[in-house]
Chains A and B, each alone.
Chain A
């Protein structure tokens, strides 16, 4: 059933349903090109791999390149690396399909933005990295990856000064993830209560913040990357569902925005949502507020309803200051003002039109270009919507 577009303080500039063959996971926009990783066949009837789109004119995006993953490989997360490189994960598909997968990440040269060229591969054990991050200012990459002696995914911190030759600086997990004598785990899709790094971890000053799926949120002293120490931790699963996805600071303020990822089976009234954590006392991070869209409105839309990821930058100043752009699956993209962290307030939303033939809108992730245009990615067929935030 077709559902009309919903827009408040957003304006649609362009739409490319071919992004990631319709089913996108994550987008990076650089040099007037959008790179979109695909959710693939496990949750959408599309290919595994990624596509590239010329967005020089955001009103007329067009696909210029596609890369198909080898058999057994899930490549849905990608990150731009300074020097015109693109890292793309190579995660193992579950079960028999992924038994022969080479896990780690691909390194592409994108100096010609429309013609990515593979120039390297970084191998990692186990199920391979999931939602990894790149900090171009610090020349670091953070991988949620399995490791010997640890139970499930932990934080791999890589030095990427030479993007072609990443070097492991440290492998660190929560103390209770230690599993001495065990080989790397191999669980690409752990349960929502599993203590496994989701990420991406991020660094502000000498602190790293990381979300651990069923394992809560950690504040980590990373003064010495090779000797990181847990400073504070909070966990709410159980009693809450879990699937803690992202933890990101609000500018330079002592608060974190945290999302738990919604799952279809928790759709609606017990769906995962957005939290604000007070980290004034880092040793004792505390939730202080929660935020939800109007759930009743999306009750009959189908698909998942609930939080997923945010635009991974909440600046202290500028046009987007104190604004969280959060994807909410069938409730699209929401803009939330967190100036008062105790009272987050919605200030805009964009829910793409759901065309006939598509079961539901499932807004998965959001990216941004150098001009402040937002790129909203749908995982169930609508591909990429390019938006202007008009507030």
Chain B
């Protein structure tokens, strides 16, 4: 709980290419567009709130973007402080995204999700009892 995870882990930033690809995918979806401010919050460029429907839409677009890009293009592209070397960093981004957000370790499954996304059927991501 509060004590079992204080170790240091190397960190990575999303690349400009990943952000741009996410925006492209989002722009191509029907429905209400995500506000520019929400993009900035989502990618950590500023603080603020993101309405839940927009968060879901952003997360799914980013997942689709990741599935559609070469691994080396996912993480920091400028070698800034804190960035990992690109190959390791990119793989870490992908693994973290899979394990943390999708629960999947299967790239094919992510690609299938992309297909569903392009089919404009939002995935249910919550479980209510």
Q: Which residues of A contact B (CB under 8 A)?
A: 25, 39-40, 42-44, 74, 76, 94, 130-131, 188-190, 198, 213, 216, 230, 232-236, 238-241, 243, 261, 263-270, 284-296, 299-300, 302-304, 308, 342-346, 359, 362, 364, 379-380
Contact present for A265 and B7 (CB under 8 Å): yes
Interchain CA distance A285-B126 in the complex, whole Å: 10
> Are A269 and B5 CB-contacts (below 8 A) given A241-B100, A299-B13?
no
5 A-B pairs with C-beta separation under 8 A: A189-B3, A269-B13, A290-B50, A290-B55, A346-B48
Q: Which residues of B contact A (CB under 8 A)?
A: 1-9, 11-14, 41, 43-52, 55, 59, 81-82, 96-97, 100-103, 125-129
* CB-nearest residue of chain B to A263: B5
Contact present for A345 and B9 (CB under 8 Å): no
By DSSP majority rule, is chain A's interface helix, strand, loop, or mixed?
loop
> Are A289 and B52 CB-contacts (below 8 A) given A235-B127, A294-B46?
yes
List the B side residues contacting A287 at CB < 8 Å.
52, 126
List the A side residues contacting B8 at CB < 8 Å.
264, 302-303, 359
How many pairs, one residue from A and one from B, have CB atoms within 8 Å of each other in the complex?
A: 146
Interchain CA distance A345-B48 in the complex, whole Å: 6
Interchain CA distance A290-B1 in the complex, whole Å: 22
Contact present for B51 and A288 (CB under 8 Å): yes
> Are A261 and B2 CB-contacts (below 8 A) given A292-B47, A299-B13?
yes
Contact present for A267 and B3 (CB under 8 Å): no
Contact present for B103 and A238 (CB under 8 Å): yes
Contact present for A213 and B13 (CB under 8 Å): no
* CB-nearest residue of chain A to B45: A296
Contact present for B102 and A238 (CB under 8 Å): yes
